[in-house]
């Protein structure tokens, strides 16, 4: 990464008399492995480095990027961005919400430096997981592991005087398995993510997790029973709570969707000006508070400043069951007459930063996990999910249980075969009457943007209890 | 041979001189342009210039790979590759990279796609077409995207060639009311004949029909899928023919070669033909690409292979490398015998679904999945559209649906847009599938 060229690009952009300009440079050192059925398919090691220029001129935005580090190329992409911004000829001019300039240098520490971990150790780590998984008395004929580390340096400068440098090491893994029992297959996947060093391997406990997943699938095939459609109580484990928080709270609270900027891709939101839901409207029960917080230490979605140079902070999206605060970047904040809350993220130098979640989770309540089960006469405990989806206004959603059990008189009984809750955002969050004390997180890659930008996030929450919802 | 091609070749020579058994280097110089719009105005125009060389190296059946940016730090990247490969593990399933010198078809790419003087004109043409159909209050958003890639591939095993790949895509979603919309796309490899207004008209036409929707009703229906929806289904079925998907059981086609997997009227092909936005003359090993018949009259004929997976399955590569994962390029469903109107007449009581997104599986091996229809969704009675619906979900089985295809239209459209899970372009007809399960939230 050549910071002089980034600075040069900014100066050149400013000389074009734009309303605003920024340059964001990235250097990503990536090492990744892919292993299929116990065989290492490939080890990939690459360094990607480039920079982008974003300008605001005549109320239009132009963006251009390159991975060629020369002053001539910098000039060329500034010219493209400038010309593109002028081409927009918007009736209502885009402005950015005001912000103070920032000078900062931040990084995430590694207890065990990723760069010091040899390729051999990385390979052996994956091999050991596969060996342990296949040593169980469970038939796991198909296994796909991907594993990677990404050391990201960023350098951000803008025409308002901000200069921000950062270094974030991240680790991620994705495991997909198929268990076959009596000729019947069941499948599970699990994603792991961490901002920090190689210590993630100890924290993830992948081997135990995947052995447990395999055992769960085997038991579901052998003992799982169907659920008859009826109204009942539903207890969601943290994984299910987390995906619901992400899909039916985080996404609809993204201000760019609310304003229509994602209308033809990820969609709009059930929340819109003049509609039945807006800031201050009830969306859930008073025990439901959902936060998006980039500052959770070592989280997969961790950052201290967003990609527009705004200081990160927790955002209370649904607060005590009420729509409370949208996720903003500077463009959406200006449109809704507020300030950015630091939710602008880009996956690399060649993508514009847009409104994104970081770590979205339900805040803990005051109940013990045993208490939550105690007065459930009959119902379902959905500990984890398999298929899920939601409509593009983020209201009509469905979660299918992967590990789930029948509850009778407060006690767990037999496993269930893929129980389904198909419901609305309002019904789901309004039915919650109890929230446990302990929050757990899961790692995920959130997809949004065109071209697609998969950003690392945490989903999570405590155990929650829903009263009287349809499960089938 | 131009300078870029020569530099690509030099990387291969250096790796060989250092002891690599087999090496492939593929340099792509790409220019990409996108204009994004919403609320009938342009939000941002984006340009990416990308200069990258992908290098894959085999040594004692161990595979490592890297990317070199703009031919910088070549020695450092190669040194790192050899560090890794020495400690890596043997891949007994590695079958070598494609061997031989091959003649390649001449690319028919259109270099003019990235030099459009004023992309905004295409955008506004599409918006106006949508508003003309659905009314002046119509609110539209979408993208115009263009791509031009110069590609140079050199393999130590013989393949050596150049390709140029071009594409232009317009995707527009028009809202006639806050929660009712239609979507249209226009995709091509060349500028000639590209008609932005056609996509806008389609989006506007559906948005107009979709006004004042009623809550849908659960049940089993015969469903006509618009080419846009069919595109998502073809992407789903096509992706599952990759030998990699078979090996990790992310497919309904495991152990089903030469078996009946679809109704007799279904023939699926994969081809990166010159019309397609996925046009290419060679794959990532340098094998010439070709048309492959995936399903012929309902019978599964082949999986898609690179050289290594082909050896595992005791067959020949199909020209679909991916060094690690073979993948389809562009899935076509053969045209059927009826036109769109005749297909509607076939339906006594059923649905017409125009688009979908968010397709997710409970189990890839069994094919149980659901997907969320979006944009216009309509109840059909006696061949006529009777009512606009909303808030439904298609919850069924991918294999069963393939077997229940009972009608395919003569009309086909080249389809690609952001929401296609599996990310595959296609040549898609209207299709009629019987007895499909629709669910809705309670």
Supply the CATH number for residue B148's domain. 3.30.2290.10
Question: Mean pLDDT throughout B178-192?
Answer: 96
pLDDT reported for residue B439: 98
Mean pLDDT taken over chain B? 97
pLDDT reported for residue A17: 87
* A40 chain-B contacts, CB cut-off 8 A: 62-63, 88-89, 91
The answer on B360 and B276 residing in a single domain is: yes
The answer on B295 and B170 residing in a single domain is: no
Instruction: Check pLDDT > 90 for residue B1.
Output: no
The answer on B157 and B232 residing in a single domain is: no
pLDDT reported for residue B24: 98
Task: Name which of B48, B419, B423 to mutate to probe chain A: the one with the most chain A Cβ atoms within 10 A of its Cβ.
Answer: B48
Q: How far is CA B221 from CA B58, B86, B284, B394, B405, in A?
A: 52, 58, 42, 10, 13
Question: Mean pLDDT throughout B186-194?
Answer: 97
The answer on B251 and B186 residing in a single domain is: no
ipTM > 0.85, yes or no: yes
pTM of the model: 0.97
Alpha carbons B102 and B283: distance in angstroms, whole number: 12
Architecture of domain A3-223: 2-Layer Sandwich (3.30)
**Residue B247 burial class via C-beta count within 10 angstroms: exposed 0-12, middle 13-18, buried 19 and up:** buried
How many domains does chain B divide into?
2
| Residue where a domain terminates, one of B192, B208, B224 | B208
Q: In angstroms, how far apart are the furthest CA atoms of chain A?
A: 73
| Structural domain span for residue B311 | 213-439
pLDDT reported for residue A268: 96
Instruction: Check pLDDT > 90 for residue B117.
Output: no
**Residue B305 burial class via C-beta count within 10 angstroms: exposed 0-12, middle 13-18, buried 19 and up:** buried
pLDDT mean by block of 10 residues, chain A; 472 residues: 97 96 97 96 95 97 96 97 94 96 98 97 96 95 97 98 98 97 96 98 96 97 95 98 98 98 96 97 98 98 98 98 98 98 98 98 96 95 97 97 97 97 98 97 97 97 98 96
Cα distance from A388 to chain B (closest Cα, Å)? 6
pLDDT reported for residue B114: 86
- For the record, the structure tokens of B54 come out as 């992908």
The answer on B241 and B160 residing in a single domain is: no
Overall size of chain B counted in residues:
442
Does residue B42 contact residue A88 with C-beta atoms inside 8 Å?
A: yes
User: How do residues B327-338 score in pLDDT, each as one tens digit?
Assistant: 999 999 999 999
pLDDT band, residue B115 (cuts 50/70/90): confident
Peptide bond between residue A164 and the one before it cis (omega within 30 degrees of 0)? no
Does residue B309 contact residue B326 with C-beta atoms inside 8 Å?
A: yes
The answer on B224 and B129 residing in a single domain is: no
Q: How far is CA B409 from CA A29, B55, B224, B337, B339, in A?
A: 49, 43, 10, 6, 5
Alpha carbons B284 and B53: distance in angstroms, whole number: 12
pLDDT band, residue B297 (cuts 50/70/90): very high
Half-sphere exposure of B361 (CA within 13 A, CB side): 24
Alpha carbons B255 and B247: distance in angstroms, whole number: 10
Phi, psi of B345 (to 5 degrees): -65, -20
Alpha carbons B100 and B110: distance in angstroms, whole number: 29
Nearest C-alpha in B relative to A422: B441
The answer on B161 and B119 residing in a single domain is: yes
CATH 3.30.2290.10 residue ranges of chain A are 3-223
* B372 chain-A contacts, CB cut-off 8 A: 389-392, 396
User: How do residues B142-159 score in pLDDT, each as one tens digit?
Assistant: 999 999 999 999 999 999
| Residue where a domain terminates, one of B149, B183, B208 | B208
Q: Which of residues 172-201 of A touch B (CB under 8 A)?
A: 176, 178, 185-187
Overall size of chain A counted in residues:
472
The answer on B140 and B95 residing in a single domain is: yes
| Residue where a domain terminates, one of B208, B233, B251 | B208
Instruction: Check pLDDT > 90 for residue B318.
Output: yes
Question: Mean pLDDT throughout B153-170?
Answer: 98
- For the record, the structure tokens of B373 come out as 């229809």
Nearest C-alpha in A relative to B72: A68
* B35 chain-A contacts, CB cut-off 8 A: 84, 87
Alpha carbons B42 and B40: distance in angstroms, whole number: 7
The answer on B318 and B236 residing in a single domain is: yes
């Amino acid at each position: 990464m050549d910071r002089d060229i980034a600075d040069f690009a900014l100066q050149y952009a400013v000389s074009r008399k734009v309303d605003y300009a920024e340059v964001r440079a990235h250097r990503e050192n990536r090492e990744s492995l892919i292993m299929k059925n116990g065989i290492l398919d490939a080890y990939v090691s690459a360094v990607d480095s480039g920079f982008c220029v974003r300008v605001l001129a005549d109320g239009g935005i132009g963006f251009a990027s390159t991975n060629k580090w020369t002053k001539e190329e910098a000039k060329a992409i500034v010219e493209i961005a400038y010309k593109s911004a002028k081409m927009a000829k918007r009736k209502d001019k885009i402005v950015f919400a005001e912000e103070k300039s920032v000078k900062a240098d931040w990084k995430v520490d590694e207890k065990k430096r990723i760069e010091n971990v040899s390729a051999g150790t990385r390979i052996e780590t994956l091999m050991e997981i596969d060996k342990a998984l296949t040593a169980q008395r469970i038939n796991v004929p198909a296994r796909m592991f991907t594993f990677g580390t990404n050391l990201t340096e960023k350098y951000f400068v803008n025409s308002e005087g901000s200069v921000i440098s950062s270094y974030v090491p991240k680790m991620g893994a994705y495991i997909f398995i198929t268990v076959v029992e009596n000729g019947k297959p069941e499948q599970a996947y699990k994603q792991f993510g961490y901002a920090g060093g190689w210590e993630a391997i100890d924290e993830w406990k992948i081997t135990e997790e995947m052995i447990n997943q395999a055992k769960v699938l085997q038991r579901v095939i052998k003992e799982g029973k169907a659920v008859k459609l009826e109204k009942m109580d539903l207890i969601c484990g943290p994984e299910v709570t987390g995906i619901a928080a992400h899909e039916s709270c985080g996404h609809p609270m993204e201000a760019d969707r609310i304003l229509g900027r994602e209308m033809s891709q990820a969609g709009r939101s059930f929340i819109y000006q003049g509609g039945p839901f807006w800031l201050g409207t009830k969306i859930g029960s008073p025990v439901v508070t959902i936060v998006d917080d980039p500052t959770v230490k070592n989280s997969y979605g961790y950052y201290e400043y967003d990609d527009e140079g705004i200081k990160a902070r927790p955002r209370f999206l649904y607060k005590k069951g009420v729509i409370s605060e949208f996720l903003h970047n500077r463009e959406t904040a200006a449109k809704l007459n507020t300030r950015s809350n630091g939710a602008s993220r880009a996956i690399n130098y060649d993508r514009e930063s847009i409104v994104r979640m970081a770590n979205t989770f339900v805040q803990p309540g005051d109940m013990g996990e045993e208490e939550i089960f105690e007065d459930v006469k009959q119902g379902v405990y959905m500990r984890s999910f398999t298929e899920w989806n939601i409509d593009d206004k983020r209201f009509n959603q469905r979660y299918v249980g992967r590990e789930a059990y029948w509850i009778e008189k407060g006690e767990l009984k037999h496993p269930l075969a893929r129980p389904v809750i198909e419901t609305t955002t309002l019904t789901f969050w309004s039915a919650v009457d109890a929230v446990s004390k302990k929050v757990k997180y899961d790692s995920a890659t959130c997809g949004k943007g065109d071209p697609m930008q998969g950003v690392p996030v945490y989903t999570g929450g405590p155990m929650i209890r829903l009263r009287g919802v349809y499960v089938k | 041979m131009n300078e870029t091609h020569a530099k690509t070749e030099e990387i291969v020579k250096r790796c060989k001189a250092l002891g690599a058994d087999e090496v492939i280097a593929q340099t792509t110089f790409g220019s990409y342009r996108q204009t994004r719009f919403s609320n009938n105005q342009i939000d941002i125009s984006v340009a990416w210039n990308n200069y990258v060389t992908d290098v894959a190296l085999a040594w004692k059946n161990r595979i490592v790979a890297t990317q070199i940016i703009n031919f910088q730090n070549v020695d450092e990247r190669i040194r790192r590759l050899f560090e890794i490969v020495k400690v890596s593990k043997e891949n007994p399933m590695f079958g070598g990279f494609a061997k031989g010198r091959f003649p390649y078809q001449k690319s028919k790419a259109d270099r003019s796609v990235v030099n459009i003087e004023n992309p905004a004109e295409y955008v506004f043409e599409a918006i106006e077409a949508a508003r003309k159909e659905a009314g002046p209050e119509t609110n539209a958003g979408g993208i115009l995207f263009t791509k031009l890639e110069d590609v140079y591939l050199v393999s130590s095993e013989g393949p050596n060639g150049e390709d140029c790949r071009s594409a232009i895509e317009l995707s527009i979603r028009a809202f006639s009311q806050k929660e009712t919309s239609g979507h249209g796309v226009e995709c091509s490899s060349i500028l000639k004949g590209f008609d932005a207004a056609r996509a806008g008209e389609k989006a506007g036409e559906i948005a107009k029909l979709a006004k004042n929707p009623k809550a849908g009703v659960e049940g089993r229906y015969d469903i006509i899928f618009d080419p846009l929806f069919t595109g998502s289904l073809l992407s789903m079925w096509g992706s599952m023919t990759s030998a990699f998907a078979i090996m990790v059981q992310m497919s309904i086609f495991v152990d089903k070669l030469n078996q009946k997997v679809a109704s007799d009227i279904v023939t699926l092909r994969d081809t990166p033909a010159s019309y397609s936005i996925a046009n290419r003359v060679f794959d990532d090993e340098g094998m010439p690409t070709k048309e492959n018949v995936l399903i012929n009259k309902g019978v599964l004929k082949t999986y898609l292979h690179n050289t290594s997976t082909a050896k595992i399955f005791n067959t020949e590569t199909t020209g679909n490398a991916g060094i690690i994962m073979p993948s389809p390029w562009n899935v076509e469903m053969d045209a059927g015998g009826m036109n769109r109107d005749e297909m509607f007449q076939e339906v006594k009581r059923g649905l017409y679904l125009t688009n979908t997104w968010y397709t997710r599986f409970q189990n890839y091996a069994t094919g149980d999945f659901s997907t969320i229809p979006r944009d216009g969704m309509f109840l059909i009675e006696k061949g006529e559209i009777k009512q606009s619906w909303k808030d439904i979900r298609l919850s069924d089985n991918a294999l069963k649906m393939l077997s229940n295809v009972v009608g395919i239209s003569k009309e086909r459209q080249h389809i690609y847009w952001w929401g296609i899970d599996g990310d595959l372009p296609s040549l898609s007809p209207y299709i009629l599938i019987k007895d499909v399960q629709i669910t809705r939230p309670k």
